Structure 1
Amino acid sequence: MTPDDEGAPMAQPPMDWDDMYRQDTLPPWSIGAPQPELAALIEQGSKQGKVRGEVLDAGCGHAELSLALAARGYRVVGLDASPTAVAAATAAANDRGLNSVTFAQADITEFSGYDGRFNTVMDSGCLHALPVERRQAYVEAVYRAAAPGASLFILAFAERPFGEDVPGPNGFTAEDLRDTVATRWTVDEVRPATLYGRDFQPPDGTALPRNAERSADGLLMMPGFLLSAHKDARHS
């Protein structure tokens, strides 16, 4: 978490997430495919057991992650606070003939009705976008929805992911991310990772750094972490 001058987490302005999905242009995190770090986990899933059983896509957005999982035969539930995103994801699943995935609108920090259900929980940039004061509630909510022995994967921004002079979400240090999740889950690994996004205009009107790293297809590349954790098999 990014500290202010007194050492407390920097406040984030409130976000109207549904408004982001109602715009004519796609939000920067909707890249038309799963984040590559999570796509790699899906590729490894059948070989190494990385992704197992029924999957929760927490904060699914336009749900390319959910759709990729369903295309591989996984049963998936995608939850998101935005009804516009949920409607778009549902339409995309119907268009692609994917009937093993369902979507629902929910407050991801306090949803219910799924206790002990999911064998895998995947988070593609949801935790870092939450208000700092709601992060623990989120960790608790996805833990409650997880089956004993379930796996958790969280892809999150590092601190200052857009550079020192550009505002952005309250990212994490590796230690902060581990500590946040370890209140309920057993953390197995936190490793550096890359998140990809479309061009965007920072909220205060500043410009992105000219030397911002980009992929071969022009997507922004931003530093982050991939956390892997599990729910103890003895816990319900």
Structure 2
Amino acid sequence: MKETIYDYEDLLKMLDSLLREPTQFWDTFYSDREKGVPFFANFPDENLVSYFEKKLFIPGKVLELGCGPGRNAIYFAEKGCTVDAVDLSQESLKWAEERANEKSVSVNFINENIFELDIAEGTYDIVYDSGCLHHIAPHRRMSYIDLVKKALKPNGFFAITCFVQGGEFGGAGISDWEVYRLRSLKGGLGYTDEKLRSIFKDFKEIEIRKMKEIKQPNKVFGVPDLMTALFQKY
């Protein structure tokens, strides 16, 4: 009876089991801190920095989905925000806590599956995602959108950074149906401005563009193989 599908949630969990990387995968991924992963750099996304510089973002309550080692969550905290930062990997959050302590900032790091979060409606001024969406299978996309809508206050902002289709670091250009034929996200799905605009059509579009390349060393992070987008809840 364990593998019987009784309801929609059972269906989602069955599809998850075919496609989702297990928690152990992400713990192993973050355990080697010296490998050459660009976003292991301890600097915030250039697009995030620009939102504060343009006064689009002001200090408020923030939810970050898939925070990894915490570089963006820490930046939000440095800007005066109250931050809840969620990740599936204990190893990534251990690293994030160390970084936050080094910078003497307070972030509420939460070790949880984002789809199991218990969030009161209209809690956050900003929802931020840098690198989570492209690892979410199509069958969970509706749940993801519902989560963002529920979390945000009216007129709250939702910002995302994800793989560009065919990018250097990932960005499979396969259809949603092909994901299930292959039983794989091919390392992460790729997005275009048109696809992001279509997926998040229920939000007001503020900006969609490729991330700017930032030469290192620098105090911000930017590589040209990522898409960035900023939306606002109606």
The TM tier, using the shorter chain, reads 0.7 to 0.9
Structure 1 gaps, min length 5: 1-10, 197-213
CA drift of 1:59 comes to 0.9
**Whole-angstrom distance in 1 between the partners of 2:200 and 2:101:** 34
Q: Which runs of 4+ in 1 moved over 4 A?
A: 163-168, 216-220
Alignment of 1:1-236 (within 5 A): 14=21, 16-26=25-35, 27-44=37-54, 48-99=55-106, 101-162=107-168, 168-182=187-201, 185-194=202-211, 215-217=215-217, 221-232=223-234
TM-score norm. by structure 2 comes to: 0.73
Secondary structure of residue in 2 paired with 1:151:
strand
Structure 2 gaps, min length 5: 1-17, 173-185
Structure 1's 188 and 24: CA in aligned 2 closer, same or farther, altered over 3 A? Answer: closer
Number of matched pairs = 199
**Whole-angstrom distance in 2 between the partners of 1:73 and 1:137:** 30
CA drift of 1:113 comes to 3.0
Amino acid at match of 1:177: L
TM-score norm. by structure 1 comes to: 0.72
Amino acid at match of 2:69: H
Amino acid at match of 2:191: F
Q: What percentage of aligned pairs have identical amino acids?
A: 24
The answer to whether the 8 Å contact 1:17/1:82 transfers is yes
Structure 1's 93 and 229: CA in aligned 2 closer, same or farther, altered over 3 A? Answer: same
Structure 1's 168 and 51: CA in aligned 2 closer, same or farther, altered over 3 A? Answer: farther
- Superposed CA RMSD in Å reads 3.0
CA drift of 1:92 comes to 2.1
